[in-house]
Amino acid sequence: MTNGESQNKLSKQAQAKANDASVNKTVKKLMLIVFGMFGFGFAMVPLYDVFCDITGLNGKTSNVAASYNAASIDTDRTITVQFLTRTAKGIPWQFEPMINEVKVHPGERKVVKFYAKNESVNAIVGQAVPSVSPGRAAVYFQKIECFCFNNQPLKASEDVEMGLQFYVDLDLPEDVSTITLSYTLYDITSAVDS
């Protein structure tokens, strides 16, 4: 092996080492992206909720009781609030609004009742989940008191009247004249038991 050849070999080895180091560096950076994006997938869950909260998209209403703080009642506007109920698959309850719609002025407090009856022979815990349509009205629909804040245990054949107290914000967009509040009732017995 001549001197030139061995030097050539040495410099090749050095080059290979340098290459290894830069390969490692690139791999580490890329792994960071991988883990970051895996985390981002999960971060989308709270981000989505925050986004919906702020914009009121998706018809999601707040899960905490609002305090009544309307400064006045705007008697010039009348809003029709409609109530819908449905039961999710597999919950043998009767679940209905006791009044199908009410007319309210923005800022005015209103109380309505819903009726639920467990028609099965087992004790079941139900949970109602509200949704407002049109979605952008959701942030203006304030629930002061709602049965949906808690779960609702009912024994076999037991029935109950459940209250909802709400008001509509004064700054509800002008073009909204009807708000539909729909409740879906789910069976969460197994989740509560465990």
The answer to whether residue 187 forms part of the interface with other proteins (CB under 8 A) is yes
Query: Who contacts 126 (Cβ-Cβ below 8 Å, separation ≥6)?
Result: 91, 93, 95, 116, 118, 151, 152, 153, 154, 185, 186, 187, 188
What residues from 52 to 81 belong to the interface with other proteins (CB under 8 A)?
Answer: 52, 55, 57-58, 60, 63
Contact 93, 116 (CB under 8 A): yes
Q: Which amino acid is located at 21 in the chain?
A: A
CB of 186 to other proteins, least distance (A): 3
CA atoms within 13 A of residue 78's CA, in its CB half-sphere: 4
Stretch that binds other proteins, among 37-45, 100-108, 161-169, 171-179 (CB under 8 A): 37-45
184, exposed or middle or buried, with CB in 10 Å at 0-12, 13-18, 19+? middle
Q: Please identify, using beta-carbon distances, which residue of 27 and 98 lies nearer to other proteins.
A: 27
Interacting residue with other proteins among 10, 11, 17, 33 (CB under 8 A): 33
The answer to whether residue 30 forms part of the interface with other proteins (CB under 8 A) is yes
CB of 102 to other proteins, least distance (A): 24
Tell me how far apart the alpha carbons of residues 67 and 60 are, in angstroms, rounded to a whole number.
Answer: 18
CB of 70 to other proteins, least distance (A): 26
H-type alpha helices, the chain: 3-55, 189-193
Binding site for other proteins (CB under 8 A): 5, 9, 19, 22-23, 26-27, 30-31, 33-38, 40-42, 44-45, 48, 52, 55, 57-58, 60, 63, 88, 127, 129, 135-136, 184, 186-188, 191, 194
